[in-house]
Amino acid sequence: MNWLDYTVLFGYFVAITLYGLYLSMRVKSSRSYFLGDRKFGWWVMMGQAFGTGTHAEMPVAQAGATFALGFSSIWYQWKNMLITPFYWLLAPFYRRSERTTVGEIIEDRYGEKMGLFYSIFAIAFFVFSMGAMLQGAAKVIAVATNQGISPNQVVVAMTVAFLLYSFFGGMVAAAYTNFIQALLIIVLSVLLIPFGLKELGGFSEMRSMLPENYFRLFSEESGMGAFMITMLALNGIVGITAQPHMVAMCATGNNERSGRVGQTFGSLVKRLVTIGWALVGVIVAAVVIQKGVTLSDPEMAFGYASRVLLAPGLTGLMVAAVVAANMSTCSNFMVNVGALFTENIYIKYINKDAHDKRLLWMGRLSGLVLTLLGVGFALIIKNVLHAFLFVETLSAFMGILFLGGIIWKRANRYGAFASFVVTVLVYYMLNFFRFGHLTLVYKWEPGPFGIAMLSGFLAFGIVSLLTKREDKAMTDAFFEKMRRSSDAADKLPDGTSGPAIDAGKDLMLVDLPGWLKRDRWKGFFKRYREDLVGFALGWIFVGVLVLLAWGIIHLG
């Protein structure tokens, strides 16, 4: 790190903090703090989805995996590739719920106690996630600067910056700074590639140094066979539904389509830049052979490439991009964890009569305190990839009750609670017998995960059928919201939400159990028009990305 690198890094911190503080002047109420008054356009929603969904540990973990196992390990990050089009179908659920947090949606579906249970899980999710992100940033910064700058110093500076503008600006500051930082993350994803290929002498020289299995899109040798990819996809589709920041990702846009476009195509941009991270890992695998160097930890690959391949000034830009990846996510998580504590715990169990200004400050303070707890989890993480998959797996366990509750009207709180308990117990029991010791974060394996998920779904169904139904009025009210469009353009003359079917916005997943009924197919393309068009476009983009990755690894 030289003076130019430090200038770039310092300039980034100052600029993004000032911009965030400027945006904070728009925040006047708890609604604007937590949801940005639901006024974000599709482009902001895309930037928010991409920025929030992209963390510093992701390029670290992905480059480390491809460095050790080859390009096919891209499916550790691409585990959600094959289910990304389903985001288009899921996104409207969160907006139509008319709620601020996922905890409130769970409460509407299963009652107050389950809402509290979920909120406790969600707070732990945020703490674990931020811990993994901090560790990921520390690994890159330590290796990229060759210890020339303390990782802890950058982490502290990063934390102070996003805490400052998020504390005052809430979701408004988080969403718009996420869009700016998303652009910087894209730079991070492609910056190392041309320098690495130049160092090696091109694709053909790189191919000559490495085994052929390093250039396969699918490979059983890397552990990324069909079963592994299927289990990772299951992890993704079930887990994404219960992640506690999904209301912010899908319901803060100015209409339902903004949420759909943001979550679906913002996520597809992430799948695109993942190709860059994976390619960096393969490049570094060849560079270390060329230079006769050994890396003690595969997850040092991304940082090593940043240090040995980049020119003065660009190392500072790379560190700034790594920091941006964390700040964009942490700022969003801070606002969401504050909303969860305020809406699901404080106002329900501590101060039911709190006025809006009190709620605004409670959201700020609780978000601040709970964010700082993430540092503690960062200190015990050994492997960033395993920590990342651990957090995703916990979401999948909780996702059984969320996704099941939307699709299956007969589901109840007893089945919901049983599904989570059984899944966790089976997962940890299988891993204990496999590894011979009990720990919080195990190496992720598809077998134990798949058995645990099957056990959870069975418990969900069997216990729900054997126990008392939920209150009919509560259940009907929940599903009635799902069948009404939340867009202003579709409002009825009296100001109430109009039936979604009239606007071609019925939700296919909500109607899934009744698809064997004849009347379900009447006017099929008209009633599900919005679902069908976006879902098809999503699959087209998935196909293009897979072909692009295949073409790149066959160059040279």
Q: pLDDT per residue over 22-37, tens digit each?
A: 878 777 777 777 767 7
**pLDDT band at 543; cut points 50, 70, 90:** very high
Distance between CA 513 and CA 482 in Å, rounded?
15
Listed ranges 10-19, 181-190, 211-220, 329-338; the one with the highest mean pLDDT: 211-220
Average pLDDT, the chain: 85
Residue 433 has pLDDT above 70, yes or no: yes
pLDDT confidence of residue 530: 96
Q: What is the DSSP string of 505-541?
A: ---TTTTGGGTTSGGGGTTHHHHTHHHHHHHHHHHHH
Taking Cα atoms as reference points, which of 190, 194, 210 lies closest to residue 202?
194
Residue found under tokens 């310092």: 10
Q: So what's the pLDDT on residue 401?
A: 95
* Residue % of the chain over a pLDDT of 70: 91
Residue 151 pLDDT > 70: no
Q: What is the pLDDT of residues 205-225, one digit of tens each?
A: 999 999 988 999 987 776 777
Quick check: 60 and 299 in contact, CB under 8 A? yes
Distance CA 322, CA 133 (A): 10
Question: Which tokens sit at 369?
Answer: 């305190």
CA atoms within 13 A on the CB side of 113: 5
- Which whole number is the average pLDDT over 168-178? 74
Looking at domain 41-394, its CATH architecture is: Up-down Bundle (1.20)
In the block, tokens 């599904």 appear at 419
Residue pLDDT, tens place only, 481-512: 999 999 988 888 887 888 999 999 999 988 88
pLDDT of 147 reads: 64
Give the Cα separation of 168 and 191 in Å (integer): 33
pLDDT-above-90 percentage for the chain: 39
Please report the pLDDT score of residue 127 as a whole number: 79
What was the pLDDT predicted at 172? 76
Q: How far apart are CA 333 and CA 22, in angstroms?
A: 20
Spatial separation of the C-alpha atoms in residues 455 and 131, rounded to whole Å: 29
- The one-letter amino acid code at 510 reads V
- Read off the pLDDT of each residue in 290-296 and give the average, rounded to a whole number: 89
DSSP state of 194: H
Contact 336, 311 (CB under 8 A): no
Q: Tell whether the model's pLDDT for residue 272 goes beyond 90.
A: yes
Confidence category of residue 88, pLDDT binned at 50, 70, 90: very high
319-337 average pLDDT score: 74
pLDDT for 463 equals 98
| Per-residue pLDDT at 488 | 86
Q: Who's near 548: CB < 8 A, 6+ residues apart?
A: 272, 275
Question: What's the average model confidence in pLDDT over 256-279?
Answer: 93
Res. 175: pLDDT tops 80: no
pLDDT recorded at residue 377: 64
pLDDT attached to residue 139: 63
Mean pLDDT value across residues 336-363: 84
pLDDT of residue 218: 85
In the chain, where the domains are located? 41-394
Highest mean pLDDT out of 19-33, 196-210, 351-365: 196-210
What is the Cα 28 distance to its own chain's centre? 28
Nearest by Cα to 198 from 290, 277, 272:
290
